[in-house]
Structure 1
Amino acid sequence: MQVSVENTSALERRMTIAVPAERVENEVNKRLQQTARRAKVPGFRPGKVPMSVIRQRYEDAARQEAFGDLVQASFYEAVVEQKLNPAGAPAVEPKSFEKGGDLEYVATFEVFPEFTVAGFDSIAVERLSAEVADADLDNMLEVLRKQNVRFEAADRAAQNEDQLNIDFVGKVDGEVFAGGSAKGTQLVLGSGRMIPGFEEGLVGAKAGEERVLNLSFPEDYQNLDLAGKAAEFTVTVNSVSEPKLPELNEEFFAQFGIKEASLEGFRAEVRKNMERELRQAIKTKVKNQVMDGLLAANPIEVPKALLENEVNRLRVQAVQQFGGNIKPEQLPAELFEEQAKRRVVLGLIVAEVVKQNELKPDEARVREMIQEMASAYQEPEQVVAWYYKNDQQLNEVRSVVLEEQVVDTVLQKATVTDKSVSYEEAIKPVQAPAAD
């Protein structure tokens, strides 16, 4: 087999492969013999059809089948021989495939970039440290109470945080517009659910009262037909209900599946969850800084095939997350290209760090991570056992641990500054930079 390789760009390779005629004919004859054993031809018993008849009827199909298999096999042999690492399937262009002659074709494909990860010492990381103070715990208990608020009828004027049951009709230029009317809608004042001025305009209203609100839709309103337009809403208040926060008692504790019925036990369980969230938030922020540093220090070209695959994966995820009657391929690729490129580049860099440093998942850390996740459940032992019985989930945890080991490897040479902050600051998500 003859192979020649041309570098058409930094990552693209154009490989010409010639498969000897003898090998081609052997593959064609092999398929014809297989066909002869099972072919049903009028006038002949199965398995007794002359080869000349078989060849006349089936040779073209056998030759096409052989072509596909030979291309697949010879391409694999060629990339191994040339020590190439394709980043995707090749585009195949046949050059010669005539009976009795060599099979010759051109395969164009991209290879994975070859590089050495460097620049660990140029990476600066701010590592936060924080504790869950009693005041943080008290605030969390209030959040939990508000998440489980109940509303009871109130014989008074509506206030912020009250829940109103309302009917309303909206008009633009005197005409009722689609989606601008509803009956029996529950609305919590101050929730920001309605357009600016709507909820504020109902403060002070009583059950049975009708109010007319003259408002304007925001300029950036999602419905472009309504954006910036003046509207009139006629609102009827059916009822006013005031919020009642639940007591911190056994009934409340039971909603969270906590066996310990005392306030002290509940506080201890909530603190444990907050500490787990804190550890994860700090770890995530360190990891993000390390990954950003690796990206900045190691600019590499991305194979188009990998980028396209990742864009398609993100399209599918978007459809699954937001639903709707839309196919993934209908979403514009440019929406996902930046995120896809970051993922692909980081994947290549992380894989190279693992290779350079001969890293393997630390099984002790794998078990520790599984136990940490399992501790959030009522029967943690069962959760741990489930992970160790499911290879796919276990391998996903191993991948996360391996990524953490990559972060640890970088931190050994990076410039790390420790900073003590409050619990709230530590768990606050990092804001993405504003688009230019």
Structure 2
Amino acid sequence: MQAQLETLGALERRLSFSVPRDRINQEVSARLKRVAKTARVDGFRPGKAPMSIVSQQYGFRVQEEVMGETVERSFGEAVQEQKLSVAGYPRFEPKEGATGEGDFEFVATFEVYPDVVVGSLDGVEIEKPVLDVSDAEIDKTLDILRRQRTRYERVERAAADEDRVIIDFKGTIDGEPFEGGSSDNYAFLLGKGQMLPEFEAGIRGMKEDEAKNVEVNFPADYHGKDVAGKTAVFAITLKNVAQSILPEVNAEFAKSLGIEDGDIAKMRAEVKSNLEREVRFRLKARAKESVMSALIDSTPLELPKSLVGLEIGRLAESAQADLKQRGIDPKLVPFSPQMFEAQARRRVHLGLVLAEVVKSNGLEAKPEQVKAIIEDLAQNYEDPADVVGWYYEQRERLAGPESMALEDNVVAFVQSKGKTVEKTVTFEELMGQQQQA
């Protein structure tokens, strides 16, 4: 089969090729004969309708199927002959100016993968974050665990920061109520920034059953566009003030964390073990991020638009699924491709570079590495042996651990080439928002 290749851009190609009309006609005829054996046509027993009627009823659909399959197969053969690596999906169109006689002529427009040449990593600084888990980190973690078990006790005094308050409020702008501006029995923690500063300042110092009006200026960039930049007056009634009571670090507290005999030393050892595992995981993630950034910076690439587009679609679907899982209707949150483009481009870029680094340096995951990762992951569960067994029950379940092992190999390889610079990070910096009460 003859095919003509044109270069339209750095990665865009156009391939003109033909599909023999005889091949199409023969395949259509063969399929219609198979269809005729079971075809149900009004007025005839199944499989007994004349071919002319079967062709009239099923011919167009069969021809479309055969044409589509043949075009894709012919395109694949042409691509192999031309030794092309196609990125994304090609766009097929009839060739412009075709006479309609002789063979069918088509044009496929598509992109190819770029040639990836990984840049030099010699001397490139690779940041490696470090953090040792000390008694101070254990104490901070225990404090967080205590705050998660906070109980609230009603008090007869003025509301202060750290108190839980329950209020009724009704807001108006220019004397008119507005959507979302009113609520009854609304509870929140004072001084935690859960409400606008002026709103909280108005409640601070109020006592139970006290009522007052509080003026609040909504910021110009407030997420609620209907009220952004406007001034509202809230009629607030304070119904309850409760102070926070944190549990003591004692035997009962230890038992609540799963230490059956309530031994404090065992509890601290357990917390330290879990914390060291989490810190190790996060340090690896930080180090990996530094390595991946170095790979991207060292290897500029022209990215196939089709692959970026596919990745944008995947990210958008993932974001919508996350919203659904949290009970939010995705239709209420406007999505645009631009929101995901930067992340999508980075993912595609990184995927192309990683594939080349792994292939060129033999960094594929080894079975013993995968097993070690699975065993480490299993330590987060009550019965690690069951978790390990679950992974090995089905081959596809190993994909995640294999990917992690492969990334570990790439990180070690890049660190060996570059200049690793250790950077001490704080506990709060490493753990981030998840460690805040």
Flag whether TM exceeds 0.5 (same fold).
Answer: yes
1:224-239 maps to which residues of 2 (within 5 A)?
224-239=225-240
Cα displacement string for residues 369-398 of structure 1 (whole angstroms, at most 9, x for unaligned residues)? 222222122222222222222433321111
* Stretches (4+) displaced over 6 A: 41-46
57-66 or 301-310: which moved more? 57-66
Query: Does 2:357 match 1:345?
Result: no
Cα displacement string for residues 162-215 of structure 1 (whole angstroms, at most 9, x for unaligned residues)? 111111122222222221111111121112111112222222222121222222
Task: Indicate how the Cα distance of structure 1 residues 36 and 179 shifts in structure 2: closer, same or farther if over 3 A, else same.
Answer: closer
Cα displacement string for residues 277-336 of structure 1 (whole angstroms, at most 9, x for unaligned residues)? 211222112111111111111111111111111111111111122344345996211111
1:223-372 maps to which residues of 2 (within 5 A)?
223-259=224-260, 261-323=262-324, 324-326=328-330, 331-372=335-376
Q: Would you say the 8 A contact 1:24–1:102 is kept in 2?
A: no
Query: Does 2:204 match 1:203?
Result: yes
Distance 1:203 1:52 in 2: 87
Secondary structure in 2 matching 1:208: coil
Cα displacement string for residues 76-96 of structure 1 (whole angstroms, at most 9, x for unaligned residues)? 222122211111221111235
Cα offset, 1:122, TM superposition: 5.0
Q: Would you say the 8 A contact 1:3–1:16 is kept in 2?
A: yes
Q: Would you say the 8 A contact 1:123–1:290 is kept in 2?
A: no
Q: Would you say the 8 A contact 1:374–1:383 is kept in 2?
A: yes
Distance 1:202 1:147 in 2: 24
Task: Indicate how the Cα distance of structure 1 residues 424 and 222 shifts in structure 2: closer, same or farther if over 3 A, else same.
Answer: closer
Distance 1:338 1:183 in 2: 43
Query: Does 2:16 match 1:5?
Result: no
Secondary structure in 2 matching 1:120: coil
Q: Would you say the 8 A contact 1:312–1:328 is kept in 2?
A: no
Task: Indicate how the Cα distance of structure 1 residues 228 and 45 shifts in structure 2: closer, same or farther if over 3 A, else same.
Answer: closer
Cα offset, 1:133, TM superposition: 1.2
Secondary structure in 2 matching 1:282: helix
Q: Would you say the 8 A contact 1:315–1:329 is kept in 2?
A: no
Q: Would you say the 8 A contact 1:359–1:402 is kept in 2?
A: yes
Match of 1:176 in 2: 177
Q: Would you say the 8 A contact 1:87–1:305 is kept in 2?
A: yes
Distance 1:195 1:256 in 2: 35
Match of 2:28 in 1: 28
Between the aligned residues of both structures, percent identity stands at: 42
Distance 1:314 1:26 in 2: 44
Task: Indicate how the Cα distance of structure 1 residues 237 and 23 shifts in structure 2: closer, same or farther if over 3 A, else same.
Answer: same
Unaligned runs of 5+ in 2: none
Unaligned runs of 5+ in 1: 430-436
Task: Indicate how the Cα distance of structure 1 residues 107 and 327 shifts in structure 2: closer, same or farther if over 3 A, else same.
Answer: farther
Match of 1:394 in 2: 398
Cα offset, 1:46, TM superposition: 6.2
Secondary structure in 2 matching 1:272: helix
* Matched residues, number: 428
Distance 1:428 1:55 in 2: 68
363-372 or 55-64: which moved more? 55-64
Task: Indicate how the Cα distance of structure 1 residues 97 and 248 shifts in structure 2: closer, same or farther if over 3 A, else same.
Answer: farther
Q: Would you say the 8 A contact 2:87–2:111 is kept in 1?
A: yes
1:84-123 maps to which residues of 2 (within 5 A)?
84-95=84-95, 96=98, 98=100, 101-121=102-122, 123=124
Cα offset, 1:159, TM superposition: 1.7
Distance 2:166 2:332 in 1: 39
Distance 1:53 1:420 in 2: 80
Output the amino acid matched with 1:26: Q
Task: Indicate how the Cα distance of structure 1 residues 167 and 63 shifts in structure 2: closer, same or farther if over 3 A, else same.
Answer: closer
197-206 or 349-358: which moved more? 197-206
Output the amino acid matched with 1:18: S
Cα displacement string for residues 31-58 of structure 1 (whole angstroms, at most 9, x for unaligned residues)? 2332343346688776666666666765
Match of 1:68 in 2: 68
CA RMSD of aligned residues (A): 2.5
Q: Would you say the 8 A contact 2:4–2:16 is kept in 1?
A: yes
Distance 2:42 2:179 in 1: 70
Distance 2:26 2:67 in 1: 12
Output the amino acid matched with 1:177: F
Task: Indicate how the Cα distance of structure 1 residues 79 and 325 shifts in structure 2: closer, same or farther if over 3 A, else same.
Answer: same
